[in-house]
Structure 1
Amino acid sequence: MPMFEVQVIIENKPGISDPEGATILNDLVLKGSYSSVKKIRSAKMLRFQISTTNKKTAEETVQKLCNELRIYNPMVSKVTFTVN
């Protein structure tokens, strides 16, 4: 059975504060070397390796797993799935 890698990127929805991104931006501004950077948004990336019949099934399985285990909060998080 083929092996697929499913990448899950979890980030805050637009308009939701991102304290981690703001902290990184403040550190850059304090250093003074990267004043051209105006905004930073942070995200988490998870990589799943899954053995299944096709890409669609791999993505659906990981989506179901993420939803059942509440890996992200759908009220504040935007999630992107990519299958390789």
Structure 2
Amino acid sequence: MGNVLNKYLVHTAIVLKGVRDPEGETILKDLVSISGFGNVNKVISGKYLGFIVDAKDDAEAVSYVREVCEKARIFNPTIHRLLILGVENA
């Protein structure tokens, strides 16, 4: 029973790191600030991806998804960051 696999949904986001974010800047300038939300300093845009994977626990699911994203080149580590947003049973 030690090798029982469960299904996990790993929530991820891919965001730009350190470079200009034209989409985020546009959202801030043309939508957020103009709507009167002056306390918002920056909007960071990104891409959401959810992966449903088989794993023995949530830590293994996260590790597996990181490996998939890196080896399949789903993001460019030179300009992007991969964020793990959360894990839940699928």
Normalising by structure 1, report the TM-score.
Answer: 0.80
RMSD, matched Cα = 1.9
Partner of 1:4: 8
Is 1:41 aligned to residue 28 of structure 2? no
Unaligned stretches of 5+ in structure 2? none
Deviation at 1:32, TM superposition (A): 4.8
- In structure 2, relative to structure 1, the CA distance for the partners of 1:61 and 1:17 (3 Å cut) is same
Deviation at 1:46, TM superposition (A): 0.8
Percent identity, please.
Answer: 34
Partner of 2:78: 75
Normalising by structure 2, report the TM-score.
Answer: 0.76
Give the total of aligned pairs.
Answer: 83
Unaligned stretches of 5+ in structure 1? none
Among residues 66, 70, 74, which one is paired with 2:69 in the alignment? 66
- In structure 2, relative to structure 1, the CA distance for the partners of 1:56 and 1:36 (3 Å cut) is closer
State the 4+ residue runs in structure 1 displaced beyond 2 angstroms: 28-38
